[in-house]
Amino acid sequence: MLCPSLKASLQLLILTGLLDVTSGGSGLHIEPEDAELVLRLHSTFSLVCYGDSALVWERDGQPLTALLEHRDGVFVSNLTLKNVTGRHTGEYACFYSSDQAPERAERKALYIYVPDPSLVFLPAITSEEFFIFITGYTEAIIPCRVTNPELQVALYEKKVENPIPAAYDPQQGFKGFFEDKTYYCQAIVDDQEVDSDTFYVYRIQVSSVNVSISAVQTVVRQGENVTLMCTVSGNELVNFNWDYPRKQAGKAVEPVTDFLPGSPH
């Protein structure tokens, strides 16, 4: 038999353990709990998110409006998708509103497909999706996402007959090491070939940044101009950002950016 004080401290341990589990557990959850769902075209479906602070919904990073209620100390956000079409396909994520709880980065997500014969490939969210910039030897994604995850999808290079071997994820697209070429995806729907948008891949040269800064004059009299020059070589992509005294005070300077041709890279 355990002595009473040991028993009490064991109970305390178990209790604190339980408390850890409940407070450490997110408190944020969505219903249904599936990782992905396939909805019938024109059906209506509700996603419900529960949490202990104000909640917001996004689809593929775009904010959505949903009804937020506060019931018995729990925040409930009910996102009803009415008469769904292929355009409703995407990742639905619920998280704490950044205005109300900026430090809480928790997030729960669910991927929804709505197979739609009139919309085989999802349109680009932003036009930048058609242009894929890659720096160095890195993997890239050609984001031709389908509304029906059952479809067989192939990747082609423009004007080349045979498909390119690459891994396809219907939630993301084709993943691989692509060249500076033009690509499109193709799905077969009822024996018909359906092509996606065209994607342009650009590989950008980026090396270790070689920055040099020089000044035309380092001692000036009041009222004179100061000219500073910052040069970066060996890179095709660079963002200049100047820091100087009185920047905080709102004294703005306007830098002039020039591309100097003839550098070795």
Identity of the residue numbered 23: S
Q: Tell me the β-bridge partners of 229.
A: 214
How many beta carbons lie within 10 A of that of residue 16, not counting itself? 10
| Contact (Cβ atoms closer than 8 angstroms) between residue 144 and residue 185 | yes
The stretch near ligand NAG (CB under 6 A) out of 19-27, 78-86, 111-119, 150-158 is: 78-86
DSSP SS3 for 24 = helix
Q: Does 46 bind ligand NAG (CB under 6 A)?
A: yes
Question: Which is nearest to 41 in space by CA: 96, 127, 138, 116?
Answer: 116
Nearer Cβ to ligand NAG, position 23 or 83? Answer: 83
Q: What is the closest distance, in whole angstroms, from the C-beta atom of residue 247 to ligand NAG in the complex?
A: 19
Question: Which is nearest to 78 in space by CA: 86, 70, 67?
Answer: 67
Q: Does 118 bind ligand NAG (CB under 6 A)?
A: no
Please state the separation of Cα 237 from the chain's center in Å: 21
The stretch near ligand NAG (CB under 6 A) out of 5-13, 148-156, 161-169, 231-239 is: 231-239
Q: Does 233 bind ligand NAG (CB under 6 A)?
A: yes
Q: State which of residues 48, 125, 134, 141 lies at the interface with ligand NAG (CB under 6 A).
A: 48
CA distance 110 to 46: 12
- How many residues of this chain interact with ligand NAG, rule: CB under 6 A? 14
Nearer Cβ to ligand NAG, position 12 or 229? Answer: 229
Q: Does 78 bind ligand NAG (CB under 6 A)?
A: yes
What are the phi and psi torsion angles at 128 (to 5°)?
Answer: -60, -20
Q: x/- binding map, residues 83-102, to ligand NAG, per CB under 6 A? A: x-x-----------------
Q: Does 210 bind ligand NAG (CB under 6 A)?
A: yes
Q: What is the closest distance, in whole angstroms, from the C-beta atom of residue 69 to ligand NAG in the complex?
A: 8
The stretch near ligand NAG (CB under 6 A) out of 93-101, 123-131, 167-175, 229-237 is: 229-237
Buried b (16+ CB within 10 A) or exposed e, 139-162: ebbbbbbbbbbebebbbbbeeeee
Where would I find the H helices in 197-252? Answer: none
Nearer Cβ to ligand NAG, position 42 or 158? Answer: 42
| Contact (Cβ atoms closer than 8 angstroms) between residue 186 and residue 154 | yes
The residues binding ligand NAG (CB under 6 A) are: 42, 46, 48, 78, 80, 83, 85, 210, 212, 224-225, 231, 233-234
